[in-house]
Structures are given as structure tokens and as C-alpha cells.
Structure 1
Amino acid sequence: MNEDKSYYIQLNSKVEKMLRTSEFLGAGHNGIVYLLPNKRVIKIFKDKKVCSGEYNIFVKTRKSKYFPNVYEHGEYYIVRDYAGGQRLDKYIKKHGINEVISLNIIKLIEEFTKLKFNRLDIRCKDLYLMDDFSINVIDPKNNYSKNVNYPRHLMKGLNNLGVIDEFLSVVSEKRPKTYKLWSFKFNQYLEKNIK
């Protein structure tokens, strides 16, 4: 939770009206998110460049089932679908990981490739798991501007949750070529960063 209150953003009266009937959901590095009565959310950003970057990703991913629809945006805000379900990391802490979740994560990263993302990575906390184990992305960042050719942050999160071996076992079984790259790169990362 970001406690920095040293910034001020001027919002138009339409956005202010939306906020009057909204419910606070959370805050992070880039802004604050509120649930609107129509099961949409409004995210208010601190930095209009970050807002523009996230909006552009949503525009380019509008036909993907993994990303929310966007209904409105301004310099400092985006109104989009609410992602229900449970945060992936919180779910795994409570229930562990299974083959279906692992396979859906693999398919998500494959979707990133189809969307021509340069950054094939995302954090566990930016993924929401639905009751049927489908996955929603809530907070895409730098997917077209940074180059990362495997899900490093995601695998680091799974490692910290103690389920990386189960996940990689499914990758090995279902996508052997992908397994070779991901396991090699992640082991390199661990050797470099855990000394």
C-alpha cells in the first residue's frame, strides 16, 4: 500500500461523480482503484504517462479473453471491467497450485507472444483466478517496452510460494521446448541473484 499523499490530480466533474458512488478497492505504486456500482472499476493514476501506457496495452489486447474491456479513459484514469475472483498468489498460499492453473498460466504467456509482447512476464499479484481457474490480468506494465523472454517475475513468485517445481513439471510435460528455455533462464536467474 502506498502511503504517499503528496500528489494532487485535477479530475473532471464526471469522474468526481463516479467516485462519489464508488467503493475503495486498493492502492499501489501507480494509483488508486475504486469499484463502481455497475461492476466496473476506475483506476486513478498518479502519472499520466503510466495511465497512457496501460491504456495502450488494453487497446492492443481488446480481443483477448485475459484482459478487461475498457469503457472510458482520460489523462489520469481508466474505467474498465472489474476482475472478480481471487488474486493468484493469495489463492496459491491457501490452496496450492494444480495442473489446470499451471496450464492456464502457460496459455496466458503464449497469449502474450500472440499479442507480440516484448515482455513475456507478469507478477502473480497482477493475475486473478476465477472459480473455473481461468485467469484475468489486471495491471499490465511495460509489455511492449521491456524485453523479457520468459516469465521471470511470475516464476519468482511461484518459487517464493513453494510451487515452482509443480509448475515446471506441468510445463515440462505439456510444453517440453518451453520448459527447456524457462527452466534454463530461471536457474540462471537464481544462480545470479541468490548468493
Structure 2
Amino acid sequence: MSKNSDYYIELNNKVEKILKKCEFLGSGHNGIVYSINNKKVIKIFKYKKVCQKEYSILKKTKDSKYFPDVYDWGDYYIIRDYVGGERLDKYIKKKGFNKKIAHNIIKLIKEFERLHFNKLDIRCKDLYVGKNFSLTVIDPKNNYSKNVIYPRHLMKGLNKLGALDEFLSVVKDEKPDVYEFWNLKIREYLDKGIK
């Protein structure tokens, strides 16, 4: 997350007490994240609407192993599980890509379908790699409101990391029914030179 803390939000006393004991983890376009302890974080949002949308997604995905559990929320904050591990893009840069990660990405997209997401996509920086190459989504956005029918941003990120061909090779072996479509769509996208 980038440093972006130039806004003020009035929070209730309970949240302010929690924040006094927290450790800053990072900030991004939509808010700031603090560690409450090694099991929970609190995310403070700039905008009420963004907070409500993220909470709505996390509420609908509460039975999924790919999303953190939520413990509390308000107009401008969510308290949820701390997600350990390493960001997917950083992990690949340090340790490379492997078939187990590819397999788990395929399972994640299948889970998106099970959850009736309209957006079957995620950015590499919004996925964390944990023990046994498990994946957890940390920043769900527009999953029910935006229509993306294949993992475009994910594959674009894998391409930048030099892992796209290896990923698609695993897709071809495990899900030949979607391989042709995904491969065609990402090649068209990349050939257009869209940045």
C-alpha cells in the first residue's frame, strides 16, 4: 500500500480506543490498514460507500476459505482477519511461480463462479500466498457490480511477472474447457497493447 493519509474521518470512541493500540500496516487509495494483533486488522476507509461495498462482499463470502472473516464494521471501518503470507506479485518475484499456485488460482476463479461473482478477476497485489500455497483475497472490489468474464488483470499481472505461459499451461491441463477462451482473450488483450 502506498502512503496516503491526507484525510480525516470521525470515528466512534470504541474504534478510536482500538486504534491507539494498533500498528500501522499500510495505506492505499481507499484507506488505511492497522494491525490490532497478529489475528485481526482494522481497515479505515476514506469513503462510506467503499466501506459498505467491501463489507457487503465479505459478508456474502463469509463461508469461503479465500476471504477473511469480518468481526465488526461501521460506516468507515471493517475489523477482519489478519492475512499473513506474501503478496502474490512479490512472492513470484522472490520465489518464482509454480504449479501449486496455478492450481490454487484456478480453484479461486472456480470459487468466484460459485459465489456468483460477475467479476471473475483479481489483481496479483490483492492476493496473498500463505502456507501450502493457499490464496487469500485481501481487497475485494466490484465483484458483484462489474462484469469481467475471465481473469484479465490477474493474467496481465502474471504476464508482467513472466509467469503467464506457465499458468496457462496448467489451465490447459486442468481446465481445457476454459483454456481456449482464457488464452484467446488474454492474447487479444495483450496484442492490443493496452497498458
Q: Same fold (TM over 0.5)?
A: yes
Alpha-carbon distance in 1 for matches of 2:13, 2:112: 36
1:144 aligns with 2:144: yes
1:27 aligns with 2:50: no
The number of residues matched between the two structures is: 194
1:38: Cα distance to partner? 5.6
Which amino acid letter does the alignment assign opposite residue 56 of structure 2? N
The normalised TM-score by structure 1 is 0.97
Which residue pairs with 2:171 in the alignment?
171
Asked whether the equivalents of residues 2 and 29 of structure 1 are also in contact (C-alpha less than 8 Å), the reply is no
Alpha-carbon distance in 1 for matches of 2:3, 2:20: 22
Which residue pairs with 2:15 in the alignment?
15
Asked whether the equivalents of residues 70 and 79 of structure 2 are also in contact (C-alpha less than 8 Å), the reply is yes
Secondary structure at 2:131's aligned position in 1?
coil
1:194: Cα distance to partner? 4.8
Alpha-carbon distance in 1 for matches of 2:49, 2:17: 24
Asked whether the equivalents of residues 39 and 81 of structure 1 are also in contact (C-alpha less than 8 Å), the reply is yes
Which residue pairs with 1:90 in the alignment?
90
Alpha-carbon distance in 2 for matches of 1:181, 1:98: 22
1:73: Cα distance to partner? 0.2
Which amino acid letter does the alignment assign opposite residue 3 of structure 1? N
Alpha-carbon distance in 1 for matches of 2:95, 2:38: 31
Q: Runs of 5+ in structure 1 lacking a partner? A: none
Q: For structure 1, which segment, 183-192 or 105-114, has the greater mean C-alpha deviation from structure 2 after superposition?
A: 183-192
Asked whether the equivalents of residues 119 and 148 of structure 1 are also in contact (C-alpha less than 8 Å), the reply is yes
1:76-125 CA distances to partner (integer Å, 9 max, x unpaired)?
00000000011111000011111110000000000000000000000001
1:144-191 CA distances to partner (integer Å, 9 max, x unpaired)?
000000011100110000110001000011100111111011011112
Which amino acid letter does the alignment assign opposite residue 24 of structure 1? F
1:37: Cα distance to partner? 2.3
% identical equivalent positions: 65
1:4: Cα distance to partner? 5.5
Which residue pairs with 2:4 in the alignment?
3
Which residue pairs with 2:104 in the alignment?
104
Asked whether the equivalents of residues 4 and 29 of structure 2 are also in contact (C-alpha less than 8 Å), the reply is no
Secondary structure at 1:59's aligned position in 2?
helix
Q: Which runs of 4+ in 1 moved over 4 A?
A: none
Q: Runs of 5+ in structure 2 lacking a partner? A: none
Which amino acid letter does the alignment assign opposite residue 15 of structure 1? V
Secondary structure at 1:172's aligned position in 2?
helix
Name the Cα RMSD after superposition.
1.2
Asked whether the equivalents of residues 129 and 136 of structure 1 are also in contact (C-alpha less than 8 Å), the reply is yes
The normalised TM-score by structure 2 is 0.97
